[in-house]
Structure 1
Amino acid sequence: MLSSSLLFFFTVLTPALCCDWLRHYDHYSNTSLTLVRRMAGQVTHHEAPVSFPYRFYSCIRHTEVKSQLVFIRDSLSLISDLYHHDNISSVPWETNLTHRFLIDTNSMIDGLNTCVSMQKQADTRLKKYYKRLIRRTVYCTGGSSDSWQTLIRETKLHLDQLQLLVSSIRHPSAAAKRRRCSPHTH
């Protein structure tokens, strides 16, 4: 029994423990969420043209920690790519907020790069989701203010889900208890 506990520790928890940078994730994540809230301003009630991928988050919670860290890093990178758009003049917020958000997001990506191999790349389904999201919001509308608001709302949902995933990595026993005690909503 002791050997199986040690095996669990070394195979599942070691990547999280070796990723010392995760202690800083909460700070950067909170800063990013604050910037997103400031960018959101008056939230639009338009339905997103692409369904939120709750199943990605649900599935990744059941994989090894290293895969979860790659997922988090790649999700942040793909989120960052959403805001590297040629025409952000129609965004309904101050453009310096976008710049600060990108700096903060890139800091999280750099930190996570210290934890996982650069060789591992994002799941193609995840990449396709983000391509559809930007294409069906900003590109289809010519960068309307409403499309940017929709994109911000979706960004906030992703950042919230990524924060939950990091919390489950840092505190695996608490996350396991929450999964057992709470009904599955998505």
Structure 2
Amino acid sequence: MFSWTSLLFVLCSSLTPVFCCDWLTQYAHLSRTSLKHIRLMGGQLTDQESPVPFPEKLYSRIRNETVESQLVFIRDSLELISDLYHHDNLSSATWDSVETEHFLTVIDRQIDGLNTCVSTNSTTDSRLRKYYRRLETCTVYRTGGSTASWELIRKETKLHLERLYLLVASIRRSSSATQQQL
């Protein structure tokens, strides 16, 4: 039999990461800041198409998962993005070093914030990890770390940051609607 207590328990357990995560209130500012730095790091973004298709299915699939799974996905995505920029062969990138450092600092702040919201023991989705590995292999490794490959990485990073922003906005909208219903 249906009980209001059961419903409340389910809602509280699924939304606890949102309610307890102060990071979400800071996300919009940090996201805009990281997007500003990625834009200011270099010149005009390349028009070149990525050799690795954007993982639309991963983003579509994660929208139907629990809030905690979504937060883990966002955190893992940011970690994998950060890993791209901690590459030994970054010397051919013609980016402004100060802007690049600021960009990476903001990404690290976002990761640290998310680690307060979700378990640090959760493992990264293997499909997400494979996507980033393929992206790095098909751009940076195949070209020997050319300037064009790094510009392509920067362009793809911007796309991911924009999609992650939309995902967080969706989480915040759904948690706000749920709070109003309670």
Segments of 5+ residues of structure 2 without an aligned counterpart are: 178-182
Q: How does 1:19-168 map to 2 (within 5 A)?
A: 19-168=21-170
Q: Distance in 1 between matches of 2:56 and 2:36?
A: 22
Q: Tell me if the contact between 2:52 and 2:134 (Cα under 8 Å) persists in the aligned partners.
A: yes
* Aligned-pair identity (%): 56
Q: CA deviation at 1:2?
A: 4.2
* Secondary structure, aligned partner of 2:51: coil
Between Structure 1 and Structure 2, how many residues are aligned?
A: 176
TM-score by length of 1: 0.88
Higher alpha-carbon deviation: 62-71 or 3-12: 3-12
TM-score by length of 2: 0.90
Opposite residue 56 of structure 1, the aligned amino acid is L
Q: CA deviation at 1:4?
A: 5.8
* Secondary structure, aligned partner of 1:171: helix
Q: Tell me if the contact between 1:40 and 1:153 (Cα under 8 Å) persists in the aligned partners.
A: no
Per-residue Cα deviation, 1:43-72 (whole angstroms, up to 9, x for no partner) = 212110100001111100100111111100
Segments of 5+ residues of structure 1 without an aligned counterpart are: 176-186
Task: Output the aligned Cα RMSD.
Answer: 1.9
Q: Distance in 2 between matches of 1:123 and 1:104?
A: 23
Q: Distance in 1 between matches of 2:96 and 2:175?
A: 41
After superposing on structure 2, the runs of 4+ consecutive aligned residues of structure 1 that deviate more than 3 Å are: 1-5
Q: CA deviation at 1:87?
A: 2.0
Q: Distance in 2 between matches of 1:47 and 1:130?
A: 16
Q: Distance in 1 between matches of 2:121 and 2:44?
A: 40
